[in-house]
A and B are shown apart, each in its own frame.
Chain A
Amino acid sequence: MNPFPASDLIVGTVFLICVATTVAGALLAVLTGRIVRSVCGLALCCIGIAGLYYFLHSPFLALMEILVYIGAVCVTIVFAVMLAEPDEPAPDETRGAAILWSGVALLAGAAICWGLSRLGLQGKWPVPVAQVADSSVKSIGISLLTTYSMAFELISLVLFVAILGALATARTGRSK
């Protein structure tokens, strides 16, 4: 017997709030006109996804999602918005063309969403016999430094080269 019967209700409500945050953030990110609001939508979407990761028994990933996406990616995009153009320019296409392209994009998105949802919901996913490992931070760390150590090192190399490349690319034409 559950000693605290309202806990199911609370957990389910928190999950629904996470789902709503993800969906609302994603819609805000692509539908608003101003780029700053779009970045805020991306941050909101990432908060929701971090909550979903928590419900998937991956608290470390939830932490990294907030740290990397909101703390690094969104802040970097805000810096770029301040250095470049703050606003989405006014549309230069005719009204008919805008409606046509919106319709095409909406149709493509709806088809992808419907098809993938149908595939995911109707697929016969295999049920594992037993889970061989738990998903704690300790086992993530162990597998990062044993099974995936090569990929781990290569990621650090990729980040190093990317930072050097970003510096070299953004530096050219500075004297103009």
Chain B
Amino acid sequence: MNLLHLYGQVDIYLVIAAFLLAVGIYGLIRRRTLIGMLISGEIIFSAASLNLVALSRFHAPDPVAGQVFVLFIMGLAAAEVAIALSIIIAVYRNYRSIKANELADLNG
């Protein structure tokens, strides 16, 4: 097993996807602002997409299915970012802060 021929097997892609998921969850736990948590969430999305594309490239009879699914994931991620950022801006207007642990009171 040569270091230069890793790209022809599914293993390295699965390991990278697992690493990205772990990094994203570490960021979700550790970041203190809403934007930082949003960025960690995007990394988790990327991990899932990479896993889908790798498995559909190597282990599925129809490699198009995984790619189309990842295109849908990208569309949903874009919608999610738009909504989340508008909520963050609305929160910042009301609280003058986007720290996650200061947003503790409800109004209803």
Residues in A with CB closer than 8 Å to B33 are 35, 85, 88-89
Interface size on A, residues (CB 8 A): 93
Chain B interface helix/strand/loop/mixed:
helix
Residues in A with CB closer than 8 Å to B78 are 68, 72-73, 159, 162
Closest Cβ neighbor of A113 among chain B residues: B22
The total of Cβ contacts below 8 Å across the A-B interface reads: 252
Establish whether residues A8 and B4, one from each chain, have CB atoms under 8 Å apart when the complex forms: yes
In angstroms, Cα B81 to Cα A88, docked, is 19
Establish whether residues B27 and A30, one from each chain, have CB atoms under 8 Å apart when the complex forms: yes
Enumerate chain A interface residues (CB-CB to B < 8 A).
8-9, 11-13, 15-16, 19, 22-23, 26-27, 29-30, 35, 38-39, 41-42, 45-46, 49, 52-53, 55-58, 60-61, 64-65, 68-69, 72-73, 76-77, 79-81, 83-85, 88-89, 91, 101-102, 104-106, 108-110, 112-113, 115-117, 120-121, 125-135, 139-140, 143-144, 148, 151, 155, 158-159, 162-163, 165-167, 169-170, 172-174, 176
Enumerate chain B interface residues (CB-CB to A < 8 A).
2-7, 10-27, 29-33, 35-36, 38-40, 42-43, 46, 49-50, 53-55, 57-65, 67-68, 70-72, 74-83, 85-90, 92-94, 97-99
